[in-house]
Structure 1
Amino acid sequence: MQDNFCRQNRRMLRNKVLIISVLLGFFLLLFASASAIIAPPQDNKKLSGDTLRRVLPVDSLSMKPKKKKQQIDDIINYQAEDSIVFYGNGNGYMYGKGDVKYQKMSLQGDFIRMNMDSSRVYASAVKDSTGTLVGKPVFKDESNEFTSNELLYNFNSKRGLIHHTVTQQGEGFVVSETSKITPDKMINMVNGKYTTCEDHEHPHFYLKMTKAKVKPKSFIVAGPAYLVLEDVPLPIALPFGYFPFNDKYSSGVIMPSYGDDFTRGFNLHNGGYYFALSDYADLALTGEIYTKGTWALNGASSYVKRYKYRGNFNFSYRNDVFSEKGMPDYSSSNSMSLQWSHSQDSKSNPYSKLSGSVNFSTTSFNRNNIDNVYNVSVMSQNTKTSSINFTKSFPENSWTITANANVTQVTSDTTINMTLPTLSVASGTLYPFKRKVAVGKERWYEKLVLNYTGDFSNSIQTKEYKLLKSSLSRDWRNGAKHNISTNASFSLFNYITITPSFNYTERWYMRKINQRWDDARNAVARDTTTGFYRSYNFSGSISAQTTLYGFYVPSRKIFGDKIDRIRHVFVPSFSFSYNPDFSDPIWGSYSTYSKYVAATASHAAYQETVKYSPFESEIYGYAGAGKSGAIGYSFTNNIEMKVKQKSDTTDLPVYKVVSLIDNFSVSGSYNLVADSLRWSLINANLRIKMPFSNNFTLNVGGTFDPYMYGLNASGQPVHVDRLRWNHGKLPRFMGTSFSQSFTLNNDTFKKKTAKEKAKDKEKEDKLKPLTGADLLNPELVLKHKQDSIAEQKKNEKRDLDADGYVKPTFKWSVSANYGVQYGQSTFNYQKMDYNMGLTHSLSFNGMLSPTPKWNCNWSATYSFSDKKLTQVNLSITRDLHCWSMSAQIVPVGYYTSYSFKIAVKSSLLQDLKYEKRSNYGENVKWE
């Protein structure tokens, strides 16, 4: 029995050995076959780290010796960080950040499967330990790039099937649940989304497209689509949609916006064509059209050349039609607007500069342009100014040439003041008698300074409708002026500065106006003659000035040692100036005519000789009449106090200088050669720096009259040669004006220590922009960039609380401007003096930002004469990430109105908006 058991054991052992041998032979055969399949060619790169890199020719994937049809015709480069496994059926698997490159196509993903026999590749995202999809496939070719959850692509047919793909096209993102790639590089999709929101996985808004076709970097054509806002479908549907986009600078159509106006009807506006002229300039031509006849054309261009210049140009022409023909309120008017700005980079040419700021429009343009109706600052603009300036300097000889063109418009009465052009040539400071090689002390005549200025100007003042009809010879004023001045400065007794000066002015005109008395009309007749005429005058002066210092030490028993001393700086200045009477016939500057004065009850008839200048209406004026030999005086005062401060570090005293009166000056003159009224008006100015604020300065100026008033032959009040102080009266205060503005904000009441102020100053100096030669130093530029980045990170960290959340911010500011004018109003014949009147105004504006996304601005003006608010404007804006909301309300004012707008920020979807505003011309009644 035991032998039988042993025989059975030996038989079972032989069977096991046989089975193991067969299995071992089978595995050896399988291993040899697999080794032949995956064996790399001899020129393959070696393994490095944990990344496997191989370049496989297609032939190496064949298991059978039989030649098969080649599916791919180029080398496939692939790699993976985790592992790569190939099987005999032609499938290869890559795990962990796989990367496959074939011709111009690349694919990255955490899981990639390749089938070399069918030239297909499959990629998908994988879930991490938290169940989140990671390593989403990223597909790139020469025309497209997108991210998806799952992808199947055929190298040979260039077709693909994608699930949940995200691709950026232009300014927006396209998200599709199922998409198909075609060989012509088109993407067909169903159940897609299009949004310009950066958070494309959970967008704040999107267009839900049931079907769509995408041509990468070109356009999207969508079938029926509807708007979804905050995951809520809105009843706003589009039967067809076309969204063009291009990543290149190119021309294209500008789609118009739709609108409705109560007085002009339905409209299409801001539509036209955009021309990409070059890399340096563009042009946009747009227009407007209304159903009741109004139309407008607009042209806008921007240009820039780096390190040279930049600017923009806008031109608009309007034909506004109101109401309908045959109606009593029907009207039609034409208007235009021209805006141009140009600035030159200072580094492009330090000796030549051209700048321009043109804002010219007819009076009716702003009133008729519906885009300006709700802009209070534009509608309330009463004066417009335009200027063009060109300056050329010659550093080798200190000469400068300047050309200007200026236009000022007063829209309230359509008045235009135009100067076109003004040319000016000026020399630098010249020392005509200075020796080139100085030997010994400086001679007195070497201190003489010579300056020359030459001007030419051409100007006109007229109404808008007369401008193009004006005559250059009759209506325009033009001429040239030359001014030569010389002066020197000498020291007398080492304390008094003596400055003599001489000034000569000559004017050239191409016309003069002769006057004569017309007895028939009993009026002055004027005759204009053309030719070359000159008018000149000259004057001389000498001044003396010194500086006196006085110190006062307060009583220590009363004030202690807190106030060290008070310093008074007194600067007296006296001058004498003289100019002859150029109305004297010896100078030839004036002419005369005889005027017949009829007899009255007080006097008999007589002939009166009237002096006049033929150049009274010319642009540079004329030589003055009357001889002057005036003594001028000026007294300037400054009072400061030296105050002892506490020292935190040493026992040594620290002093601070406090300004009590920054400036107090009195000036005037006395004319020695005048026959009466020799004293001039007395001018006084006071400037005080307020101790509670370094930015608040009180400026007050006033004028005092030393003479009394009387009545002339016509019963009008005039000055008489009687000094007020000779009759027991002080000089009469004629009035003053005062204007002051101040601002309070959330940083106003924050007190900083000296150390914090020093740190702020150090940070400000470190982060201020680099200029000049510093920009050419790469080390300084790199350090400045690093400092800016480091400071930005500090600010970001400073804005977070202890838990890492953003600190709540509440920003606000309130500004007020108060203006006072106190002066003469009406004449009091009983007191023989003027009554004094007070006018003042008060305006406010402020800003409130409770969160970074909310912003509220307001402004108000109070009229003290009307005792009410005359203008109130309120605007509110809300940043909704990819949307923006704004509202503007004018509850008080000449034109009360309201407007509300919510719109997408992207310029591509600028028509995706909702607007509500009060009708043009309607004064809203607030209840």
Structure 2
Amino acid sequence: MRSKPFIILSAVGVMVVAMASGAMPSPDKRLTGKKADTTQTDSSRIKGLQADDAATDTTGMDSLQLAVYHHNKAVDDSLRLDSINRKKKNGIDAPVTYQADDSLVYMASSNTAHLYGSAEVKYENMDLKSDKIKLSLDSSLVHATGSRDTTATDGIKGKPVFVMGQDTYDTDTMSFNFKTKKGFIKHVYTKQEDGFLTSEQSKRNDNGEIYLAHGRYTTCDAPHPDFYIALSRAKVRPGKDVVFGPAYLVVADVPLPFAIPYGFFPFTKSYSSGFIMPTYGDESSRGFYLRDGGYYFAMSDKWDLKLLGEIYTKGSWGFSAASNYKKRYKYSGSFLFSYQDTKTGDKGMPDFSEQKSFKLQWSHRQDSKANPYSSLAASVNFASSKYERNNLTSVYNPQSLTQSTRTSSVSWSTTFSSIGLSLSSSANLSQNMRDSSIAMTLPDLNISISRFYPFRRKHQVGDEKWYEKISMSYTGQLSNSINTKEDKLMHSNLIKDWKNGMQHNIPISGNFTLFNYINISPSFNFTDRMYTSKVTRSWDEATQEEVRDTTYGFHNVYNWNLSLSANTKLYLFAIPSRKIFGDKIQAIRDVITPQISFSYAPDFGASRYGYYQTYQKTDADGNVSLVEYSPYSDQLYSVPGKGKTGSISMDLANNLEMKIKSDEDSTGYKKISLIDELGASMSYNMAASYHKWSDLSMRLRLKWWKNYTFNMNAVFATYAYDLDENGKPYVGNHTEWGRGRFGRFQGMSQNISYTLTPEKIAKLFGGGSDDEKDNKSKDNNDDDDEGIDTDINSNVDDEMVKAQNGAKKKSGGGKASTDDDGYMRFSMPWSITFGYGITMRENTSGKFNYKSMRYPYSFSQTLNMSGNLRISDGWNISFSSGYDFDNHKISMTTASLQRDLHCFNMSCSVVLAPYTSYNFTFRCNAATLTDALKYDKRSGYSNAVQWY
């Protein structure tokens, strides 16, 4: 007779259960399941029974007794096998660990355990936590639920949390089988990468896949999401993807009429291929379009490939291929090729036109760790002149339309440090988008040897000799270039159309000290040019035109010059009168730096050099004249200039500082800059026949304000105006000094910029301490950089949208912070930058004043203003504008507004002048849905709105 079980409760989670039958669970809270018995096969168990039969002695039994024995034995063996199979069926593969903070109840009749209060059950890599757990030891089933609690948010506390591997599931009710690893979940909530999944009912199979019914998918992390995609049914492969059936979009609990029959969301962290959704819209000249749609190929973790296409209803089409590549510690880069076939108008009509254009971009960067002695870099940005006009993206970027020059380069360099040799090669291309002209150099090879001292002793003994201070270096350049039009580049002749040559430059210099105070620096520079052709010119009297004859061969052209400079420093000290200035000012120091230099070069236009030649020209009227030319004027490195040069240059710089006692430290001193630099320079050309003196240039630099430097440059003309026989003014040979006047003021230019912020205003009016203002300024600057597009030129480009979507969101879901009383803190960070420039020049086209012998002065001014404003958390405004004083109207004005809607991002950009356009974008912040949930509205170039 079996007795009923009785229960002992424990408040500390230690299991203490006793039964009259003597069946007690393991005191260490583990159920082993007799794993050793379940590992035996049926054949081994039958062999064991046969062994038992062999051990039984049946000698002396008659036939009836033997038959009864075998019958009973068969029944007994059958019962024993059923017991063994039953143990195998109900067995588990690993220990199950379980505990509870409140109590544990074990029911011997049903072989179940009930756990209460922060219960937890662990099995292999599975972990289940809940307030109430029911564990069936026979069927390996576990059932978990929460407990009612009026203090909880939803009335339930301790809801089940199931963790298996790296996946976590928050549920209301859960049932799970340890052996089959299958389960049933109600109201599951799980995170997969950037998305969150919920469902009313879910089933989990033994592979970890979850089947959902009436589910929701969203990237919003709020408890009540701003939006979600309602899924009728779905299959979730954790860490891989979600495949779903009919689904529709719900925003702010309002179902929208946007439904799809099926779809999927990838979750994999590794690279994966997939389709790219196109953007639709309309453009007046080309019709409706689908653009930027295609396929993304995840080739490997080192490079990828993106193929995009676009098509218009009026026949235009285009495609592009983009790739990114990177090898760690080696190199990285990107490549883009785009082709467009643009058709406007109707085919067969006079206004029909077709234009084909392309664009090529390549960027390559080598890691400095890859090779410290060799590097390869590329920055290629080439596009046909028609591409930007036909490309729809350029319509919203005024910088692309106004950009007149594009440059591209590919360079390679290597160094041989042991001998100081550097070798570099590059290919350069400059493209003028206005007239489609191209200047290309391929290749441009440079060889250089760093400075060395040929006369310096390897093992120096005693003082250094004067000749050991002589140094020299070498630079060589080999180039091949062409200047042509875009459509003629591929049809050019390498010998006739391309220019090539080699140039050598050898500078020799020294540095000596004279009388211990004067620094003397002589130098000699030799330049040699090697050309493979020259052009001889003559005059054809019959056709009355110049005839050119190109001869090919080796031609050498060289020139040289020498120079000598001397400089020193003079220090002047002055101690102010203590009776007048007191002890505050310690001393005033004036540093004067005079410098004089001399340069000389012979006349390489002399006939003995052969760099210049003449031919006789006889025009149709019989007039004869000599025309001078150089056979090398059209060559790559040109030709040395004519005329002997011999000039003396003088420069005088002055620096004035004052040393005063520090207010913070009674024993310390500090320096104050009164005049950071006041200088003047002038030169005298000994070889010139007239106007030997140059104009006087003066410069002034002041550092009176913190973080601001005032610079001003001015020019004073040396020679005065005279009047010719017709009374018209011209620059004569008489100096202004000879007439008792200072040099004629030619003009000056000055640029001033200042950024105004609330912190600077508070500092001007003495608000707050310096430490608080500095910290606040730093915090606000960090906040201002968050989610604000300060690059005005990109406000109408796709890059702006990408940058705004990638902006880091503030913690708290964009909610404004509050003070201790619960009121919202007032914070509106802003900054405005003003830029003003003024240029004063002598206006030689104005009316001349014969009394003062002066022309009037003209002024040109520029005024620019840009800034940004954060109205509140999530609201950002930036703008840029200016005023054109010459045309008396507003210059290019752009503005952009961005709104962070927690899960979505809204941005609007507008360009008011000179190219008017607008751009509105609304898209999801999550990278998974950024291309799926978006709305773009843009103006076209041809139908741009005009505002007055």
- Segments of structure 2 that go 5 or more residues without pairing to the other structure are 8-15, 39-78, 780-809, 812-816
Task: Quote the residue 1:137 is aligned against.
Answer: 160
After TM superposition, the structure 1 = structure 2 runs for residues 314-333 of structure 1, keeping only pairs within 5 Å, are 314-333=336-355
SS of the residue corresponding to residue 908 of structure 1 reads coil
Q: Work out which of the residue numbers 923, 933, 937 in structure 2 matches 1:903.
A: 923
Report how many aligned residue pairs link the two structures.
Answer: 849
Q: Deviations over 1:728-748 (max 9, x none)?
A: 554333333333333222343
* CA pair 109-686 structure 1, distance change in 2 beyond 3 A: same
Q: What's the CA shift for 1:184?
A: 6.1
Task: Quote the residue 1:259 is aligned against.
Answer: 281
| Structure 1 range deviating more: 293-302 or 204-213 | 204-213
| Structure 1 range deviating more: 721-730 or 425-434 | 721-730
Does residue 402 of the first structure (1) align with residue 431 of the second (2)?
Answer: no
Task: Quote the residue 1:167 is aligned against.
Answer: 190
1:583–1:611 Cα contact (<8 Å) kept: no
- When the two chains are superposed, the root-mean-square deviation of aligned CA atoms in Å is 3.7
| Structure 1 range deviating more: 529-538 or 658-667 | 658-667
Q: Which has the higher contact order (CA 8 A, sep 6+)?
A: 2
- Segments of structure 1 that go 5 or more residues without pairing to the other structure are 1-21, 41-45, 600-604, 764-791, 794-798
After TM superposition, the structure 1 = structure 2 runs for residues 212-291 of structure 1, keeping only pairs within 5 Å, are 212-291=234-313
Whichever residue aligns with residue 736 of structure 1, its letter is: M
Q: What's the CA shift for 1:669?
A: 1.8
1:74–1:102 Cα contact (<8 Å) kept: no
Task: Quote the residue 1:674 is aligned against.
Answer: 688
Task: Quote the residue 1:187 is aligned against.
Answer: 210
Task: Quote the residue 1:566 is aligned against.
Answer: 588
SS of the residue corresponding to residue 585 of structure 1 reads coil
1:861–1:870 Cα contact (<8 Å) kept: yes
Q: What's the CA shift for 1:102?
A: 4.6
Task: Quote the residue 1:707 is aligned against.
Answer: 719
Q: Work out which of the residue numbers 651, 664, 679 in structure 1 matches 2:666.
A: 651
Task: Quote the residue 2:512 is aligned against.
Answer: 490
1:56–1:77 Cα contact (<8 Å) kept: no
Task: Quote the residue 1:302 is aligned against.
Answer: 324
* CA pair 260-674 structure 1, distance change in 2 beyond 3 A: closer
Task: Quote the residue 2:98 is aligned against.
Answer: 79
* CA pair 879-488 structure 1, distance change in 2 beyond 3 A: same
2:283–2:940 Cα contact (<8 Å) kept: yes
Distance 2:91 2:284 in 1: 68
Task: Quote the residue 1:889 is aligned against.
Answer: 910
Whichever residue aligns with residue 899 of structure 1, its letter is: N
Whichever residue aligns with residue 93 of structure 1, its letter is: H
SS of the residue corresponding to residue 399 of structure 2 reads helix
Distance 1:659 1:27 in 2: 95
2:303–2:323 Cα contact (<8 Å) kept: yes
* CA pair 305-901 structure 1, distance change in 2 beyond 3 A: same
Does residue 736 of the first structure (1) align with residue 731 of the second (2)?
Answer: no
Q: What's the CA shift for 1:579?
A: 0.8
Q: What's the CA shift for 1:824?
A: 4.7
Q: What's the CA shift for 1:661?
A: 2.3
* CA pair 806-173 structure 1, distance change in 2 beyond 3 A: same
Q: What's the CA shift for 1:299?
A: 1.4
**TM-score, normalised relative to structure 1:** 0.83
* CA pair 471-670 structure 1, distance change in 2 beyond 3 A: same
After TM superposition, the structure 1 = structure 2 runs for residues 85-104 of structure 1, keeping only pairs within 5 Å, are 85-88=105-108, 89-102=110-123
Task: Quote the residue 1:349 is aligned against.
Answer: 371
After TM superposition, the structure 1 = structure 2 runs for residues 389-788 of structure 1, keeping only pairs within 5 Å, are 389-556=411-578, 558-596=580-618, 607-647=624-664, 650-652=665-667, 654-689=668-703, 691-694=704-707, 696-708=708-720, 720-749=732-761, 751=763
Q: What's the CA shift for 1:582?
A: 0.7
Q: Deviations over 1:387-413 (max 9, x none)?
A: 333332222222222323333333233
Distance 1:851 1:686 in 2: 44
Q: What's the CA shift for 1:803?
A: 7.2
Distance 1:59 1:904 in 2: 56
Q: Deviations over 1:747-769 (max 9, x none)?
A: 43455978889999999xxxxxx
Q: Deviations over 1:699-727 (max 9, x none)?
A: 22233332356799999997554434334
| Structure 1 range deviating more: 90-99 or 159-168 | 90-99
Whichever residue aligns with residue 175 of structure 1, its letter is: T
SS of the residue corresponding to residue 705 of structure 2 reads coil
Q: Deviations over 1:493-526 (max 9, x none)?
A: 1111111111100011122222223333444332
Q: What's the CA shift for 1:561?
A: 4.3
After TM superposition, the structure 1 = structure 2 runs for residues 785-804 of structure 1, keeping only pairs within 5 Å, are none
Q: What's the CA shift for 1:148?
A: 1.4
**TM-score, normalised relative to structure 2:** 0.82
| Structure 1 range deviating more: 472-481 or 852-861 | 472-481
Task: Quote the residue 1:293 is aligned against.
Answer: 315
Task: Quote the residue 2:41 is aligned against.
Answer: none
Distance 2:434 2:627 in 1: 38
Task: Quote the residue 1:858 is aligned against.
Answer: 879
Task: Quote the residue 1:121 is aligned against.
Answer: 142
| Structure 1 range deviating more: 836-845 or 849-858 | 836-845
SS of the residue corresponding to residue 210 of structure 1 reads strand
Q: What's the CA shift for 1:151?
A: 1.0
* CA pair 717-583 structure 1, distance change in 2 beyond 3 A: farther
Q: Work out which of the residue numbers 197, 210, 219 in structure 2 matches 1:196.
A: 219
| Structure 1 range deviating more: 713-722 or 458-467 | 713-722
| Structure 1 range deviating more: 577-586 or 250-259 | 250-259
Q: What's the CA shift for 1:289?
A: 1.4
Distance 1:762 1:440 in 2: 57
* CA pair 551-802 structure 1, distance change in 2 beyond 3 A: farther
Same amino acid, percent of matched pairs: 42
Distance 1:824 1:475 in 2: 43
Q: Deviations over 1:272-315 (max 9, x none)?
A: 22222222111111111122212121111112222333222222
Distance 1:31 1:724 in 2: 118
Whichever residue aligns with residue 863 of structure 2, its letter is: L
Q: What's the CA shift for 1:149?
A: 1.6
Whichever residue aligns with residue 423 of structure 1, its letter is: L
* CA pair 698-390 structure 1, distance change in 2 beyond 3 A: farther
Distance 1:458 1:717 in 2: 47
* CA pair 519-136 structure 1, distance change in 2 beyond 3 A: farther
1:707–1:722 Cα contact (<8 Å) kept: yes
Does residue 38 of the first structure (1) align with residue 24 of the second (2)?
Answer: yes
Distance 2:232 2:618 in 1: 97
Whichever residue aligns with residue 918 of structure 2, its letter is: Y
After TM superposition, the structure 1 = structure 2 runs for residues 869-884 of structure 1, keeping only pairs within 5 Å, are 869-884=890-905
* CA pair 97-379 structure 1, distance change in 2 beyond 3 A: farther
Distance 2:538 2:725 in 1: 25
| Structure 1 range deviating more: 89-98 or 715-724 | 715-724
Q: What's the CA shift for 1:834?
A: 6.0
